[in-house]
Amino acid sequence: MEPDATSPSASESNFGHRHLLGTEGLSRSDVSQILDLSDQYVEQNRQVDKKAGVLRGRTLINLFFENSTRTRTSFELAGKRLGGDVINMSVSTSSIKKGETLIDTAMTLNAMHPDVLVVRHGDSGAVQLLAEKVNCAVINAGDGSHEHPTQALLDALTIRRRKGHLEGLNVAICGDVTHSRVARSNIYLLNTMGARVRVVAPPTLLPTYVERLGVEVHHDLRDGLTDCDIVMMLRLQTERMQGSFVPSMREYFYFHGLDYDKLAAAKPDALIMHPGPMNRGVEIDSEVADDIDRSAIHEQVEMGVAVRMACLDLLVRNQTAPWGLNR
């Protein structure tokens, strides 16, 4: 069934969440529900007329305290394609620069009755804190090095469409796991869906508790890629590093950067992924990143819009009417 302009097809949704703060709290059926609906939005986004009416009369505010290209644009497009009013708050020109606290900013926006707040913040836990204070649905668009649920969902959608399933796949998440919210959200989600996850990084870029997340640990990229179906590369998040975690970028690329030579250890049809932004020549070789037969990097961006439409759709359907009764 394909969603049309007036009656997209999640009307019997039983998505039991008010917010989307992480993948840690999502069940297998939650994830499948989001991915199934996303598949429909992928089709819709490939039509000339991409508009649906699910968010008609609703307001989405994008509140980004950290830089973003893909995620912010993708939420904006998703909100607009669903017929909602979308506002992008630019933190650099807001009262936050005058010393207003996160909670005061959130309460001010809340008083304007948005239906969804999409928030990115540099501190782990900040988005959860904000969600506890407002009446509307909150989507975590990345909090510190904690979670980035829509990135993991779009990665899962990309993999499921390419490989047909998630269960039983060997997925290697490689690079700066310590600072990566993308890694954490992917580990929770992929484990829930029955994939086998490995993390591959030098010890300095792995959190000490990492095995407890249910992953296999490798320090050598060739070892970690052996027999793997999916190679997910991560950016070195230098903006979150205090001190030096790698000897030099050159040495990092030599030992831990993905090139054809190291990729040869993976399955011949292994899919290459990267959440972006990429640092070419640091964690990934340009030739590999641009290999149209192996790399799904642009497809991930396309899937991102569809996944965000599905998440917005499921969350607004879940809101009780009239809005804010539970104040």
Least distance (Å) between residue 73 CB and ligand NCD = 10
67 versus 204: smaller Cβ distance to ligand NCD? 67
Least distance (Å) between residue 191 CB and ligand NCD = 19
Residue 173 CA neighbour count, 13 Å, CB half: 32
Least distance (Å) between residue 116 CB and ligand NCD = 18
CB 265 within 8 A of CB 222: yes
181 versus 256: smaller Cβ distance to ligand NCD? 181
150 versus 192: smaller Cβ distance to ligand NCD? 150
In the block, tokens 């009369």 appear at 57
Least distance (Å) between residue 31 CB and ligand NCD = 19
Interacting residues toward ligand NCD by CB under 6 A = 70-71, 142, 148, 151, 181-182, 235, 237, 275-276
Distance (Å) of CA 321 to CA 8, 14, 132, 316? 19, 16, 19, 10
Least distance (Å) between residue 34 CB and ligand NCD = 17
In the block, tokens 């900040």 appear at 126
Query: The tokens of 86 are what?
Result: 């979308």
What would the DSSP string read from start to end of 228-261?
-SEEEE----GGG-SS-SSS-HHHHHHHHSB-HH
Residue closest to ligand NCD when measured from CB atoms: 235
Query: The tokens of 62 are what?
Result: 């994008």
39 versus 143: smaller Cβ distance to ligand NCD? 143
Least distance (Å) between residue 108 CB and ligand NCD = 25
| 77 φ, ψ (degrees, to nearest 5) | -60, -45
282 versus 316: smaller Cβ distance to ligand NCD? 282
131 versus 297: smaller Cβ distance to ligand NCD? 297
Query: The tokens of 69 are what?
Result: 């290209």
User: Is beta strand 59-64 parallel, antiparallel or unpaired with respect to 271-273?
Assistant: unpaired
118 versus 130: smaller Cβ distance to ligand NCD? 118
Least distance (Å) between residue 234 CB and ligand NCD = 6
Least distance (Å) between residue 152 CB and ligand NCD = 10
In the block, tokens 């950016």 appear at 235
Burial 292-326 (b: 16+ CB within 10 A, else e): eebbbbebbbbbbbbbbbbbbbbbbeebeeeeeee
What would the DSSP string read from start to end of 268-317?
TTPEEE--S---BTTTB-HHHHT-TTTB-HHHHHHHHHHHHHHHHHHHHH
CB 230 within 8 A of CB 273: yes
70 versus 222: smaller Cβ distance to ligand NCD? 70
